[in-house]
Amino acid sequence: MEDDVASRLQPVPVVREALGTQVANHIRDAIVRGDLLEGERLVETEFAESLGVSRGPVRDGFRILEAEGLIAKRGQGYLVQRLDERDIHELYSLRGSLESLAMSMTMALDERPDLAPLRAVVEIMGKAADAGDSDEFARADVTFHSMLCDISGHRRLAAVWRQYEPITMALLRVTVLVDDDLHITTAQHALLLDLIEAGDRAEVMTELDDHLNGSMKRMLDAWRTSAARRAGT
Protein backbone atom coordinates (compact mmCIF):
# COMPACT_ATOMS: atom_id res chain seq x y z
CA MET A 1 0.00 0.00 0.00
CA GLU A 2 1.42 3.38 -0.99
CA ASP A 3 2.49 5.59 1.91
CA ASP A 4 0.14 8.54 2.53
CA VAL A 5 2.78 11.26 2.77
CA ALA A 6 0.37 14.02 3.81
CA SER A 7 -0.85 12.06 6.84
CA ARG A 8 2.64 12.13 8.39
CA LEU A 9 2.46 15.88 8.92
CA GLN A 10 0.85 17.31 12.02
CA PRO A 11 -2.43 19.16 11.32
CA VAL A 12 -2.16 22.94 11.57
CA PRO A 13 -4.82 25.60 12.02
CA VAL A 14 -5.34 27.34 8.68
CA VAL A 15 -7.20 30.64 8.43
CA ARG A 16 -8.94 31.99 5.35
CA GLU A 17 -6.35 34.67 4.54
CA ALA A 18 -3.50 33.63 2.26
CA LEU A 19 -4.38 29.96 2.51
CA GLY A 20 -2.02 29.01 -0.30
CA THR A 21 0.85 30.79 1.43
CA GLN A 22 0.11 29.01 4.70
CA VAL A 23 -0.01 25.64 2.97
CA ALA A 24 3.34 26.45 1.30
CA ASN A 25 4.83 27.47 4.66
CA HIS A 26 3.71 24.20 6.27
CA ILE A 27 5.12 22.00 3.52
CA ARG A 28 8.29 24.09 3.17
CA ASP A 29 9.08 23.65 6.85
CA ALA A 30 8.60 19.90 6.50
CA ILE A 31 10.99 19.76 3.54
CA VAL A 32 13.65 21.82 5.31
CA ARG A 33 13.34 19.71 8.48
CA GLY A 34 13.67 16.54 6.42
CA ASP A 35 10.17 15.24 7.25
CA LEU A 36 9.46 15.10 3.51
CA LEU A 37 12.20 13.46 1.49
CA GLU A 38 13.51 13.81 -2.03
CA GLY A 39 11.33 12.03 -4.58
CA GLU A 40 8.25 11.75 -2.37
CA ARG A 41 5.05 12.43 -4.25
CA LEU A 42 2.72 15.21 -3.14
CA VAL A 43 -0.93 14.84 -4.10
CA GLU A 44 -3.42 17.72 -3.88
CA THR A 45 -6.31 15.64 -2.58
CA GLU A 46 -4.23 14.11 0.22
CA PHE A 47 -2.96 17.46 1.48
CA ALA A 48 -6.35 19.12 1.15
CA GLU A 49 -7.86 16.43 3.35
CA SER A 50 -4.94 16.43 5.82
CA LEU A 51 -4.95 20.24 6.24
CA GLY A 52 -8.71 20.63 6.12
CA VAL A 53 -8.79 22.99 3.13
CA SER A 54 -10.02 22.80 -0.45
CA ARG A 55 -7.74 21.78 -3.32
CA GLY A 56 -7.38 25.39 -4.53
CA PRO A 57 -5.12 26.62 -1.69
CA VAL A 58 -3.08 23.40 -1.88
CA ARG A 59 -2.61 23.97 -5.61
CA ASP A 60 -1.54 27.57 -4.91
CA GLY A 61 0.88 26.37 -2.22
CA PHE A 62 2.41 23.83 -4.58
CA ARG A 63 2.97 26.56 -7.18
CA ILE A 64 4.80 28.71 -4.62
CA LEU A 65 7.07 25.81 -3.68
CA GLU A 66 7.65 24.93 -7.34
CA ALA A 67 8.84 28.50 -7.99
CA GLU A 68 11.24 28.13 -5.04
CA GLY A 69 12.62 24.90 -6.49
CA LEU A 70 11.54 22.79 -3.51
CA ILE A 71 9.13 20.64 -5.49
CA ALA A 72 8.81 19.80 -9.21
CA LYS A 73 5.78 18.97 -11.36
CA ARG A 74 5.65 15.33 -12.41
CA GLY A 75 2.54 14.08 -14.21
CA GLN A 76 -0.56 14.88 -12.18
CA GLY A 77 1.37 15.58 -8.99
CA TYR A 78 4.61 16.99 -7.60
CA LEU A 79 7.81 15.44 -6.31
CA VAL A 80 9.89 16.79 -3.43
CA GLN A 81 13.28 18.08 -4.54
CA ARG A 82 16.34 17.56 -2.39
CA LEU A 83 17.58 20.41 -0.22
CA ASP A 84 21.30 19.70 -0.04
CA GLU A 85 24.43 21.39 1.25
CA ARG A 86 24.87 23.32 -1.97
CA ASP A 87 21.37 24.79 -1.59
CA ILE A 88 22.14 25.82 1.98
CA HIS A 89 25.41 27.47 0.94
CA GLU A 90 23.68 29.27 -1.93
CA LEU A 91 20.84 30.55 0.25
CA TYR A 92 23.16 31.79 2.98
CA SER A 93 25.66 33.35 0.56
CA LEU A 94 22.78 35.20 -1.13
CA ARG A 95 21.46 36.30 2.23
CA GLY A 96 24.94 37.43 3.25
CA SER A 97 25.36 39.46 0.08
CA LEU A 98 22.00 41.18 0.52
CA GLU A 99 22.45 41.96 4.19
CA SER A 100 26.06 43.08 3.80
CA LEU A 101 25.02 45.53 1.08
CA ALA A 102 22.11 46.72 3.20
CA MET A 103 24.38 47.24 6.20
CA SER A 104 27.02 49.00 4.13
CA MET A 105 24.42 51.41 2.74
CA THR A 106 22.96 51.98 6.20
CA MET A 107 26.37 52.88 7.60
CA ALA A 108 26.90 55.33 4.71
CA LEU A 109 23.70 57.28 5.45
CA ASP A 110 24.15 60.92 6.47
CA GLU A 111 21.99 60.34 9.53
CA ARG A 112 21.70 57.21 11.61
CA PRO A 113 18.30 55.55 11.18
CA ASP A 114 15.83 55.22 14.03
CA LEU A 115 16.76 51.93 15.70
CA ALA A 116 13.94 51.95 18.25
CA PRO A 117 11.72 49.56 16.19
CA LEU A 118 14.63 47.16 15.84
CA ARG A 119 15.36 47.29 19.55
CA ALA A 120 11.69 46.48 20.18
CA VAL A 121 12.12 43.37 18.04
CA VAL A 122 15.19 42.39 20.06
CA GLU A 123 13.04 42.68 23.20
CA ILE A 124 10.55 40.27 21.63
CA MET A 125 13.41 37.88 20.89
CA GLY A 126 14.53 38.10 24.52
CA LYS A 127 11.05 37.31 25.81
CA ALA A 128 10.75 34.39 23.38
CA ALA A 129 14.14 33.12 24.59
CA ASP A 130 12.94 33.36 28.19
CA ALA A 131 9.82 31.36 27.30
CA GLY A 132 11.67 28.86 25.13
CA ASP A 133 9.31 29.78 22.27
CA SER A 134 11.38 28.87 19.19
CA ASP A 135 8.65 29.74 16.67
CA GLU A 136 8.15 33.24 18.08
CA PHE A 137 11.91 33.67 18.24
CA ALA A 138 12.32 32.69 14.57
CA ARG A 139 9.58 35.11 13.51
CA ALA A 140 11.20 37.96 15.40
CA ASP A 141 14.63 37.03 14.03
CA VAL A 142 13.38 37.23 10.43
CA THR A 143 11.58 40.49 11.17
CA PHE A 144 14.82 41.95 12.53
CA HIS A 145 16.78 41.13 9.38
CA SER A 146 13.96 42.32 7.13
CA MET A 147 13.99 45.65 8.94
CA LEU A 148 17.77 45.85 8.54
CA CYS A 149 17.24 45.68 4.79
CA ASP A 150 14.44 48.26 4.98
CA ILE A 151 16.46 50.90 6.83
CA SER A 152 19.14 50.82 4.12
CA GLY A 153 16.73 52.74 1.92
CA HIS A 154 17.34 50.36 -1.02
CA ARG A 155 13.81 49.37 -2.04
CA ARG A 156 14.77 46.74 -4.60
CA LEU A 157 17.21 45.09 -2.22
CA ALA A 158 14.44 44.86 0.37
CA ALA A 159 12.10 43.43 -2.28
CA VAL A 160 14.60 40.70 -3.22
CA TRP A 161 15.08 39.87 0.47
CA ARG A 162 11.33 39.37 0.84
CA GLN A 163 11.27 36.92 -2.06
CA TYR A 164 13.51 34.66 0.02
CA GLU A 165 11.98 35.51 3.40
CA PRO A 166 9.82 32.33 3.55
CA ILE A 167 12.74 29.95 2.99
CA THR A 168 14.84 32.04 5.40
CA MET A 169 12.11 31.58 8.01
CA ALA A 170 12.09 27.83 7.41
CA LEU A 171 15.86 27.65 7.82
CA LEU A 172 15.76 29.73 11.00
CA ARG A 173 13.11 27.48 12.52
CA VAL A 174 15.62 24.67 12.18
CA THR A 175 18.64 26.58 13.52
CA VAL A 176 16.87 27.94 16.60
CA LEU A 177 15.98 24.39 17.58
CA VAL A 178 19.68 23.48 17.75
CA ASP A 179 20.75 26.65 19.57
CA ASP A 180 21.92 25.85 23.09
CA ASP A 181 20.82 29.25 24.37
CA LEU A 182 18.66 31.67 22.37
CA HIS A 183 19.74 34.48 24.70
CA ILE A 184 23.18 34.38 23.03
CA THR A 185 21.62 35.01 19.63
CA THR A 186 19.49 37.79 21.13
CA ALA A 187 22.63 39.47 22.48
CA GLN A 188 24.26 39.23 19.04
CA HIS A 189 21.37 41.14 17.50
CA ALA A 190 21.54 43.77 20.23
CA LEU A 191 25.28 44.14 19.58
CA LEU A 192 24.65 44.76 15.88
CA LEU A 193 22.39 47.67 16.82
CA ASP A 194 24.95 49.06 19.27
CA LEU A 195 27.62 49.01 16.56
CA ILE A 196 25.32 50.72 14.06
CA GLU A 197 24.53 53.39 16.63
CA ALA A 198 28.23 53.87 17.35
CA GLY A 199 28.98 54.24 13.63
CA ASP A 200 31.62 51.51 13.74
CA ARG A 201 31.39 50.27 10.16
CA ALA A 202 34.27 47.78 10.27
CA GLU A 203 33.07 46.15 13.48
CA VAL A 204 29.44 45.95 12.41
CA MET A 205 30.34 44.33 9.09
CA THR A 206 32.54 41.77 10.88
CA GLU A 207 29.83 41.04 13.45
CA LEU A 208 27.20 40.60 10.75
CA ASP A 209 29.45 38.22 8.81
CA ASP A 210 30.19 36.18 11.95
CA HIS A 211 26.49 36.08 12.82
CA LEU A 212 25.41 34.78 9.41
CA ASN A 213 28.28 32.28 9.19
CA GLY A 214 27.32 30.92 12.59
CA SER A 215 23.71 30.53 11.48
CA MET A 216 24.80 28.69 8.33
CA LYS A 217 27.02 26.36 10.34
CA ARG A 218 24.14 25.45 12.67
CA MET A 219 21.89 24.81 9.67
CA LEU A 220 24.51 22.57 8.04
CA ASP A 221 25.02 20.67 11.30
CA ALA A 222 21.26 20.15 11.60
CA TRP A 223 20.99 19.04 7.97
CA ARG A 224 23.86 16.55 8.34
CA THR A 225 22.35 15.15 11.53
CA SER A 226 19.02 14.72 9.78
CA ALA A 227 20.68 13.14 6.72
CA ALA A 228 22.58 10.69 8.94
CA ARG A 229 19.38 9.76 10.79
CA ARG A 230 17.55 9.14 7.51
CA ALA A 231 20.44 7.05 6.19
CA GLY A 232 20.25 4.86 9.29
CA THR A 233 16.55 4.10 8.90
Q: Give the confidence band of 13 by pLDDT, cuts at 50, 70, 90.
A: low
Q: Is the pLDDT of residue 16 over 50?
A: no
Whole-prediction pTM: 0.81
Q: Give the confidence band of 11 by pLDDT, cuts at 50, 70, 90.
A: low
Question: Mean pLDDT of all residues in the chain?
Answer: 88
Q: What does the alpha-carbon distance between residue 139 and residue 128 come to, in Å, rounded to a whole number?
A: 10
Q: What does the alpha-carbon distance between residue 34 and residue 225 come to, in Å, rounded to a whole number?
A: 10
Phi, psi angles (nearest 5°) of residue 35: -75, -30
Report the interhelical angle of 85-107 vs 134-151 (nearest 10°): 50
Phi, psi angles (nearest 5°) of residue 78: -130, 150
Single-letter amino acid code for the residue at 45: T
Produce one character per residue of 26-46: b if its CB has 16 or more CB atoms within 10 Å, e if not: bbbbbbbbbebeeeebbbbeb
Assigned fold of 85-231: Four Helix Bundle (Hemerythrin (Met), subunit A) (1.20.120)
Domain ranges of the chain: 5-80, 85-231
Q: What is the pLDDT of residues 47-70, one digit of tens each?
A: 889 888 899 999 999 999 998 889
Q: What is the pLDDT of residues 178-228, one digit of tens each?
A: 777 899 999 999 999 999 999 999 999 999 999 999 999 988 888 888 777
5-80 placed in CATH 1.10.10.10 = yes
Intra-chain end-to-end CA distance of the chain, in Å: 19
With 0-12 CB in 10 A as exposed, 13-18 as middle and 19+ as buried, what is 149? buried
Q: Is 80 strand, coil or helix?
A: strand
Answer whether 5-80 and 85-231 agree in fold: no
Q: Give the confidence band of 17 by pLDDT, cuts at 50, 70, 90.
A: very low
* Arithmetic mean of pLDDT, 109-114: 91
Q: Where are the alpha helices (DSSP H) in the chain?
A: 19-33, 44-51, 55-67, 85-107, 116-131, 134-151, 155-163, 165-178, 182-198, 201-231
Q: What is the pLDDT of residues 18-48, one digit of tens each?
A: 889 989 988 998 888 878 888 999 989 988 8
